[in-house]
Structure 1
Amino acid sequence: MQDTIIRFENVTKQFDDDAPVLDNVSFEIEKGKFYTLLGPSGCGKTTILRLIAGFLEASAGDIYLNEKKINAIPANKRPVNTVFQDYALFPHLNVYENVAFGLRIKKLAKKVIDEKVKEALRFVNLSGYEKREISEMSGGQRQRVAIARAIVNEPEVILLDEPLSALDLKLRTEMQYELRDLQRRLGITFIFVTHDQEEALAMSDEIFVLNKGEIQQSGTPIDIYDEPINRFVADFIGESNIVSGKMIQDFEVEFVGRHFECVDQGFNPNETVEIVIRPEDLEITAADKGQLRVKVDWLLFRGVHYEMGCVDVDGNEWLVHTTKKAKIGDEIGLTFDAEAIHVMRLGETEAEFDKRLESYDEVE
């Protein structure tokens, strides 16, 4: 609790008589970490950001910052700053004046303002750009100006509302590294909103996956990728092969008409489940040597690997990422390790899921 900087306690946000945008959401944010709120449009991620910033009021529940309830505290009194999707820079002010704007409102001494602005610009690698007009800056440079303007006020939390979405792919990738490095150097809590799964996986210490106003799962990128809690998370985080199955007993599961060894436990005997196998965990072999026998339906070259769509005799589709090439129409075998099989319990809550995973450790 002592490292918690933001806490939501049963927070709901509803506009008029519409369905809640956020529905009884609770979570904690720790100091000095990079968090990502991930989900499709309309899932509630930007609403969480605006509630933290003070731009919206919760319909129910409480929001705490450093264990102080902030529901009634106005936005300008909260130690947070927001970097918007369009950066919201002042076009009539140069770089220096954009960054200095908030400090001038606070009526700080000119020397103090100058020191803080230059330090902030140095942090974002824009030293020497003080007199540059905003119209003369590239998209990546404008984003850095917006970040400098946010950090110059020394906030405890920086909120970033899809700030990379307007950038081209190459620049976007570069800025992912820069943002992550900046957060580590500053030691400030970053809360980043995106619908881009790859962005979330690359940048985050912790991810909250949202859907329809609820947090589906939270955890590290590796935990969420390797151990998705349900079909939505498995589908949204990375690409997945998902089929129905039956948990015969601990460490044994049945799907596509065959029994396989797995590493999951804690299910009821013969419980109906869903199976996830990631495309990169499937290996190509001869048709008669595979655990699955499939026919190649389509093939794409992705640069570092081939992406193949395959179909088994029951009509199940299998997505495969491999460095080996096969031709459309070929019959091939697919093999996979027991560790590649992830078993999902239908309707399991995150608390139940976490408890089950903890029992794995106890057994080990």
Structure 2
Amino acid sequence: MTETTIIRFENVSKQFDDTTILDNVSFEIERGKFYTLLGPSGCGKTTILRLIAGFIEPTKGTIYINDKKVNKVPANERQVNTVFQDYALFPHLNVYENVAFGLRIKKMKKNVIDEKVKEALKFVNLEGYENREITEMSGGQRQRVAIARAIVNEPEVILLDEPLSALDLKLRTEMQYELRELQRRLGITFIFVTHDQEEALAMSDEIFVINKGKIQQSGTPTDIYDEPINRFVADFIGESNIIKGKMMKDFLVEFAGKQFECVDQGLNENEAVEIVIRPEDLEISVKEKANLHVRVDSQLFRGVHYEICCFDELGNEWLVHSTKKAEIGQEIGLRFDPEAIHVMRLGETEEEFDKRLESYDEVSQ
């Protein structure tokens, strides 16, 4: 555990009756970063949040906060505050009283409470709203009140359980920027739960991709998007073309009936693999310069690009994002660079995957 580590899970499992929600999960959270727990409903991400907060205890394993074991430490004794999905504000109290609630429980002096509440409301751009009733606030304003109530207690970690899910798209996008900027200003560790991959990519320093109670992959948004470890991550983080292939040798892979140069190495010769190429990395090209020849099956206009679905001669489906318009039934060429090809090893663990990537760096150096 490093000096910058604030939270650590060691082989943590959680069961409810005979159902395993978390399965032998280990990770570390560093101070001052914005983390996102990303995954589908029921994957275990909210359970991790509740374990950190102290609302539930692990079935197995150990949880540390500031290098102190906290398995049995109650929620009110942890330097952690939670912003819930429904904000959990008191409708009968105004903005000031909602934010001051935790400070009154601690029996702080009135002048200290006044100073802290005003400072917290200033941080979330709600100065002058002290006497506003909660029922008179918009969804975005209520969220900011909930965050002010969390930060006024000066926690070391703020946990956010899908706090943007109830907002409309435009407000949701605005609040993503506000939350990220707020985290940077405060310098507090944020742990954010969402099932929205675009939200995770836009806001996070690091992402934990979770499925069926296990962390599939962790890393920066760029790392996870560009180098997914398996089919689940590749499919869940953005849109992907995923097809079966064979690693012929270092830097040469076979798929769609052809062999292509790639940047991957360290796999066995003739090893079965899966290939990922992102739709935006496929360029519509004249057939003479194309890597693949395909026939357009359908096309949708998405505002900034066309989403084109097509099939190659072997029946593999390809999704293309292009500013160029195609015609349904038209035969077109698709071109891509070796760097656009990402090779996924079947059954590779994250530790094995990281070692393979490190070997690439060593060779390039």
Q: Matches of residues 1-364 of structure 1 in structure 2 within 5 Å? A: 1-18=2-19, 20-364=20-364
- Residue 287 of structure 1 contacts residue 294 of structure 1 at CA under 8 Å; is this kept in 2? no
SS across alignment from 1:21: strand
Amino acid at match of 2:131: K
Displacement of 1:288 in angstroms is 4.2
Amino acid at match of 2:173: T
Deviations 1:314-359 (A, max 9, x none): 1111000000111111110000000000000000000000001001
Structure 1 length-normalised TM = 0.99
SS across alignment from 2:16: coil
Amino acid at match of 2:352: E
Displacement of 1:72 in angstroms is 0.7
**Structure 2 gap segments, 5+ residues each:** none
Distance in structure 1 (CA, Å) of the matches to 2:31 and 2:66: 9
Distance in structure 2 (CA, Å) of the matches to 1:361 and 1:287: 35
- Residue 36 of structure 1 contacts residue 206 of structure 1 at CA under 8 Å; is this kept in 2? yes
Distance in structure 2 (CA, Å) of the matches to 1:351 and 1:17: 29
- Residue 251 of structure 2 contacts residue 263 of structure 2 at CA under 8 Å; is this kept in 1? yes
User: Identity of counterpart residues, as a percentage?
Assistant: 82
Displacement of 1:13 in angstroms is 0.1
Distance in structure 2 (CA, Å) of the matches to 1:285 and 1:26: 46
SS across alignment from 1:14: strand
Structure 2 length-normalised TM = 0.99
SS across alignment from 1:356: helix
Distance in structure 1 (CA, Å) of the matches to 2:208 and 2:289: 40
Distance in structure 1 (CA, Å) of the matches to 2:296 and 2:22: 43
Displacement of 1:313 in angstroms is 1.3
Displacement of 1:285 in angstroms is 1.1
SS across alignment from 1:348: coil
Distance in structure 2 (CA, Å) of the matches to 1:42 and 1:174: 27
Distance in structure 2 (CA, Å) of the matches to 1:170 and 1:334: 35
Distance in structure 2 (CA, Å) of the matches to 1:44 and 1:265: 34
Displacement of 1:286 in angstroms is 2.1
Displacement of 1:115 in angstroms is 0.2
Runs of 4+ in structure 1 over 6 Å off: none
Displacement of 1:113 in angstroms is 0.1
Across the two proteins, how many residue pairs are aligned to each other?
363
